[in-house]
Amino acid sequence: QVHLVESGGGSAQVGGSLRLSCSASGATYDNPCMAWFRQAPGKAREGIAAIYSENGVTSYANSVAGRFTISQDNAKNTVYLQMDSLEPKDTGTYFCAAPSGRLCWLTDETEYRHWGQGTQVTVSS
């Protein structure tokens, strides 16, 4: 079992930055990758970034590519999401997730077994 805890959410102005953290505990040795999802009010949850533990390969949704950066500190079992050039459309609850398999597809949340409780991000003008 993997336990995930997000932190770092809050409020930001348009064009500002926030950094989210996801701390993993438990059976983290079996985590091939980690991903960040978000859910805006009234909308479906969206996969936005993923990173593979062994080689650091990353992937991003088009909606955040070039503005958000996912990174990891394997020694701390922590994954980060640096969010720059924030826009009002980035408002939502952000979740980190670990898959049940070996791949972190951003387009299929059913592939993820472990989820954090979420952290709120609000971007205002």
Model confidence over 32-74: pLDDT tens digits? Answer: 999 999 999 999 999 999 999 999 999 999 999 999 999 999 9
Q: What mean pLDDT, rounded, does the chain reach?
A: 94
Torsion-angle region of residue 118: left (phi > 0), alpha (psi -120 to 50) or beta? left
pLDDT at 1: 81
Distance CA 71, CA 21 (A): 10
pLDDT of residue 26: 84
